[in-house]
Amino acid sequence: FTAHRSPALVYAGRFSTDRGMLVIAEALHQLAAQGLRPRLRLLGTWTSPAEEQTFRQAMAGLEAQVDMVGWAPYEQVPAHLASADVALAVLQPIERYVAALPVKLFEYMACGLPVVVSDFPANRAVVAGADCGLLVDPSDAAAVAAAIARLLADPDEAHRLGANGRRAFKTQYNWQALEQ
């Protein structure tokens, strides 16, 4: 991240507890206790007003760090993502998330962002195989905070991981390559 602005994290998609929003809130509190105050850009919408209220309560004291973008036109999404430093996908360990690859992972990779992602088998195959981010226990806020802190503390490593993800997206994880 650059010295003239706070580092930025991004999460794109639907927001809910099962998609890790409370873990992200706790990780941000842990980072704040260490003197780190990255901004969190939320690109998407809440699954319900109750989920949003629960998150707002969990973020008490850190509200100024959250940028609620909401839904953005598809053509604007890459710019929103690319202006972040680290992308988050800490989906919780429920069957449908453990067994699937989140589209957001590939969107993040396409934008050259280093990722902090749930350590599930399918995610591990992509992220470790491409060396494009850090895998975490998605229910462990301390592990999520440590991964974020590691990437923010080492911008060169974060850039390398993001570039690896971009390269993997261009060569492997796109419709043209998968069609072959």
Average pLDDT of every residue of the chain: 93
Query: pLDDT band at 122, cuts 50/70/90?
Result: very high
**Range with the poorest average pLDDT among 38-42, 56-60, 69-73, 143-147:** 69-73
**Range with the poorest average pLDDT among 52-56, 62-66, 142-146, 174-178:** 174-178
pLDDT for res 74: 87
Give the H/E segment covering residue 11. strand 8-15
As a whole number of angstroms, the distance between CA 95 and CA 173 comes to 23
Query: pLDDT band at 173, cuts 50/70/90?
Result: confident
Sign of the dihedral defined by the CA atoms of residues 172, 1, 16, 35, in that order = positive
Query: pLDDT band at 177, cuts 50/70/90?
Result: low
Residues 6 or more apart whose Cβ sits within 8 Å of residue 84: 8, 9, 10, 41, 113
Q: Is residue 180 predicted with pLDDT exceeding 80? A: no
**Range with the poorest average pLDDT among 92-101, 131-140, 152-161:** 92-101
* pTM, two decimal places: 0.92
Which tens digits make up the pLDDT trace of 48-91?
Answer: 999 999 999 999 999 999 999 999 998 999 999 999 999 999 99
Strand-pair partners of 172:
none
Q: Is residue 2 predicted with pLDDT exceeding 60? A: no
Residue 174, number of CB atoms within 10 A of its CB? 14
pLDDT for res 29: 98
